[in-house]
Amino acid sequence: MSKELAIATVLKTGPGSSIQGLGRIGQAKYGIPLSGALDMKSFEWVNHILQNEVFNAAMEISQPGFQIKFDSNTSVAIAGAQALIRLNGDELEGINLISIRANDVLEIGAFLSGARLYLGVRYGFKSPKILGSRSFYAGLTEDSFLSKGAKIKYFTESNPNSELNAKPKWSTDWFQTEEILVYPGPDFHLLNENLREKLFSESFRISPQSNRMGVQLLELLENELPELPTNPVFPGTVQLTSGGKIVILLRDAQVTGGYPRILQLPEESQWIMAQKWPGNKLLFKLKKP
């Protein structure tokens, strides 16, 4: 097996697609966000199927119409959102592990369910490593998002899939739910009974003003809670602003904040949130310890 470097060229892409990995663990003390894949379940599945190391980087694709050309042989795996997949113009149905030959063009078409698709390659994509991670982050890495013409390195394989012997079946059932399990946050005690009842009985819709930093909800939760001294926040922290906005922080969010931290999403709920589109509804439910 050869492990020479090859080039994958992005031929077409929409906004928001990037290279992501496990993130920059242990850098929060310097004010650096975690970053990394928003849907870690799908990301880890891709690396598992490819028999990669857990830290190998993959592409996080958040818009249909993505096209990429590989200049040498490799194996790729797909998970996360369900989408129409074409290889050299031919539609692939129910295939999550794909053999790639030199000059093959892979296309991600319309999303059928979910909001983010993960495209992994054998041995991972080799974007520059900054502070121990290949994950893109604005202001830290040279690129914030993948752009048309971007060239990403990867290791070639002389005989794709020869060592994998897998026929994976990826299901999207796990994120087809409106119910989001949560724990009480550090400032949950500041909510009166009326606010708690509204928080857990009413549904909320995701705002278009959402990105990798956080998800805003359209419905307001009017309150008289005070702003607090700056405190640590984490991916999955749910903040309530003085104006009633509910904000769910994601992996590119700041590491401190002054709004009350009313809830905390466990990792599994964060992965579900990553697969939601603006307009999707959600219902908070307290998770039993």
pLDDT reading at 164 higher than 80: no
Neighbours of 38 (CB within 10 A): 24
Residue 158 has pLDDT above 80, yes or no: no
Read off the pLDDT band of 163 (50, 70, 90): low
How far is Cα 184 from Cα 260, in angstroms, rounded to an integer?
12
Q: Is the pLDDT of residue 161 over 80?
A: no
**Largest CA-CA distance found in the chain, in angstroms, rounded:** 64
What's the gap between Cα 175 and its chain centre? 13
For the segment 211-239, the average pLDDT, to the nearest whole number, is: 95
Q: Please list, in sequence order, all residues whose beta carbon lies within 8 angstroms of the beta carbon of residue 47, skipping any fewer than 6 positions away.
A: 53, 54, 56, 58, 120, 124
Residue ranges, comma separated, of all CATH 2.40.100.10 domains in the chain are: 177-286
189 Cβ neighbours under 8 A, 6+ residues apart = none
CATH superfamily of 177-286: Cyclophilin-like (2.40.100.10)
Assess contact for 8 and 151: CB atoms under 8 A.
Answer: yes
**Distance from the Cα of residue 56 to its chain's centroid:** 15
Nearest to residue 65, comparing CAs of 134, 111, 97, 27?
A: 111
pLDDT of residue 5: 95
- pLDDT, the chain, mean: 94
Which residues are within 8 A (CB) of 106 and not within 5 positions of it... i.e. 6 or more apart? 67, 68, 69, 70, 76, 85, 86, 87, 98, 100, 119
Contact indicator for 250, 273 with CB cutoff of 8 Å: yes
pLDDT in tens, 57-94: 999 999 999 999 999 999 999 999 999 999 999 999 88
Give one DSSP letter per residue of 29-69, joined into a string.
GGT----S-SSHHHHHHHHHHTT--TT-BEEEE-SS-EEEE
